[in-house]
Amino acid sequence: PSFFKGTSFTHISVLEKKESTDEEEDPKLEFEAKYVELNPLGEGGCGSVFNGYRKSDKLVVAIKHIPNENIYCTNFDESGRELSVEVAVMLKLQSGTSNSAGSKAPITLLDWYVLPHELILVLERPMPASDLHSYIERRGGSLKESEAKIILKQLVEAAINLQDEKIFHRDIKLENILIEMFSGAPRVRIIDFGLSCFTETNSNHNTFYGTDCHVPPEWLFRYQYSAGPTTVWQLGIVLFDCLHNKRFNSSSFIRRKIKINNRLSKDCKDFLKQCFTRDPKDRPTLEQIHLHPCLLALPLTSGFFYRHHSFRHKFS
pLDDT digit string (tens) for 62-106? 999 999 998 877 788 778 878 899 999 999 998 865 556 666 899
The third-level CATH classification (topology) of the domain covering 2-124 is Phosphorylase Kinase; domain 1 (3.30.200)
* In the predicted structure, residue 14 carries a pLDDT above the cut 50: no
**57 assigned binding-site residue:** no
CB atoms closer than 10 angstroms to residue 33: 10
Provide the whole-model pTM: 0.86
Is 41 annotated as ligand-binding? Answer: yes
- Length of the chain equals 316
Chain centroid to Cα 266, Å, comes to 28
The annotation status of 43 as a binding-site residue, yes or no, is: yes
Q: Is 171 a catalytic residue?
A: yes
Rounded Cα distance between 240 and 232, Å, is 12
Q: Which among 22, 171, 267, 282 is annotated as catalytic?
A: 171
Domain 129-308: which topology? Answer: Transferase(Phosphotransferase); domain 1 (1.10.510)
CA-to-CA distance for 316 and 310, rounded, in angstroms? 18
On whether 83 is known to bind a ligand per the annotation, the reply is no
**Tens digits of residue pLDDT in 33-51:** 999 999 999 887 788 999 9
Whether the CB-CB separation of 266 and 212 falls below 8 Å is answered with no
- Domain-wise residue ranges, the chain: 2-124, 129-308
In Å, the largest CA–CA distance within the chain is 65
Neighbours of 302 (CB within 10 A): 18
